[in-house]
Amino acid sequence: MDEPIRDADAARRLARTIVSDIAAYNQAAVERGLSKDDLFLSLAPQIEEGRGHYESRVDAELLPRGFFEKALVDFLVKPFGYVSSPIW
């Protein structure tokens, strides 16, 4: 098994890559989830799979830094600001 990622920038990049893949492969579901205000519930399986992959690759000391959670906002919420949603 590979050594865990210990560099914060590399961990941040991995989180952004994983979440951007979730957004790219599930664009319609992201839009639907935002419009119905159930984004994180409707994409829970994909998000949890991505989080599991992220956590398996990154050193445990970096996990509390919240890189994965920030990536969720940066790639699953912000880019879809054009979607009519009750959250904004």
pLDDT tens digit string along 24-77?
999 999 999 999 999 999 999 999 999 999 999 999 999 999 999 999 999 999
Residue 55 structure tokens? 């956590």
8 and 62 in contact (C-beta within 8 Å)? yes
Work out the pLDDT band at 87, boundaries 50, 70, 90: confident
Residue keyed to tokens 């599930």:
26
3-state secondary structure of 68: helix
Report pLDDT for 65.
Answer: 98
pTM higher than 0.85 for the full model?
A: yes
The arithmetic mean of pLDDT across residues 19-27, rounded, is 98
- In eight-state DSSP terms, residue 43 is T
Q: Where are the domains of the chain?
A: 8-80
Would the pLDDT of 1 be above 80? no
